[in-house]
Amino acid sequence: MDNTLYLVVPCYNEEEVLRDTAGKLGAKMKALAASGKISCASRIVFVDDGSRDRTWAMIEELGDGDELFAGVKLSRNRGHQHALLAGLMTVRGEADMFISLDADLQDDIEAIDAMVGEFRNGCDIVYGVRKSRSKDTFFKRATAEGFYWFQKKLGCDIVFNHADYRLMSARALDALSEFGEQRPYLRGIVPQIGYKTATVEYDRGAREAGVSKYPLKRMLALAFDGLMSLSLKPLRMITVTGALMLLAAFALLVYSLVTAFMGQSMLGWKIVTVSVWAVGGIATLSIGIVGEYVGRAFVETKKRPRYFIEKTRGLAQSQGGGKTGD
């Protein structure tokens, strides 16, 4: 086995941290190569997700200075999951193992050694998992853990406290290429591949510069994408809710008739108003959920390209232009 490793690093407006990130990742890769753990043909591939700053210019400068660095530039901003997938699919077939991580390096790069070790032990997928969230704020910790718990309850097969810091073997990446979702949610898709897996725990650090590319709005959007793409339980919950509403309406009818025969006054317009608002709200919510599934199915049937690659730097596909996701 050649043990060639490609690091795939999505970037969006990362000029403040990119040079420092490149320095640390470069030193790590050279140390791994010197120890014989990976091949000297290994590369670090930065994926520019339509940045508006000098991110791509810096990637080109890094490639000019050291062939260890390569780059992929998307034609426009497509979001973290698409950028990560674009990078992985572009370098697919070029290495024996691939590790995805974020440009801010909050995920400890020292865990790469353990990931490579698990790969050499026969694992096809190695998940980087946070040891704890003790450094997070209460709100961040509560929402994150609640997100994982909720996803699990709805039947989504995801790894607790794992984001997108993972190693995949060449055959695992080939399997990933078979998934054709227009809105990929890799945290939920990768566990469906199977093969032998392992986890590596690490401590997550703080971002040293720049701002987070995942504010609350994007986190909620990602969580919603994961829920709608991996579970049908919301649709089943609508059915159960409808059945419970019918039972409640029947019970209210019986109660009203009994109180009327006993000569007691009925609750009148108040109960009617509450019932109408409750039924209307639940019905509107239900229609919205069904509409979301129908809309996503509609988008999937169009099979539009998930991304376009404008150019590459330092890769076999250096001609660039027009490559789309498989």
Residue 32, C-beta contacts closer than 8 angstroms, at least 6 positions apart: 5, 38, 42, 112, 113, 116
Q: Using one digit for the tens of pLDDT, what is the confidence trace for 127-143?
A: 998 887 666 667 767 76
Q: Which tokens sit at 312?
A: 């590459």
Checking if the pLDDT of 326 tops 70, the result is no
Task: Say if residues 95 and 170 touch (Cβ distance below 8 Å).
Answer: yes
More confident residue, 272 or 315: 315
The CA distances from residue 61 to 71, 128, 190, 313, in Å, are 10, 30, 33, 10
Q: Using one digit for the tens of pLDDT, what is the confidence trace for 185-200?
A: 788 888 888 899 999 9
Return the exposure string of 30-51: e unless at least 16 CB atoms fall within 10 Å of the residue's CB, then b. eebbeeebbbebbbbbbbbbbb
Residue labelled with tokens 């409808």:
242
* Domain boundaries, given as residue ranges, for the chain: 5-211+305-313, 233-302
Residues 104 and 26: their CA atoms lie apart, in Å, by: 14
- Percentage of the chain beyond pLDDT 70 is 69
For domain 5-211+305-313, the CATH class is: alpha beta
Q: How many CB atoms lie within 10 A of CB 218?
A: 13
What is the predicted pLDDT for the residue at 231? 60
Helix axes 216-230, 138-153, angle to 10 degrees: 10
What DSSP element (H or E) covers 126?
A: strand 125-130
Checking if the pLDDT of 212 tops 70, the result is no
Task: Say if residues 184 and 116 touch (Cβ distance below 8 Å).
Answer: no
Task: Say if residues 203 and 10 touch (Cβ distance below 8 Å).
Answer: no
Specify the length of the chain in residues. 326
Residue labelled with tokens 């640390």:
24
pTM over 0.75: no
Give the pLDDT mean for 155-176: 85
Q: Using one digit for the tens of pLDDT, what is the confidence trace for 55-107?
A: 999 999 999 988 999 999 999 888 888 999 999 999 998 999 999 999 888 88
Residues 94 and 65: their CA atoms lie apart, in Å, by: 21
Q: Using one digit for the tens of pLDDT, what is the confidence trace for 33-63?
A: 999 898 999 999 999 998 999 999 999 999 9
DSSP 100-126: E--TT--S-TTHHHHHHHHHHTT-SEE
What is the predicted pLDDT for the residue at 307? 82
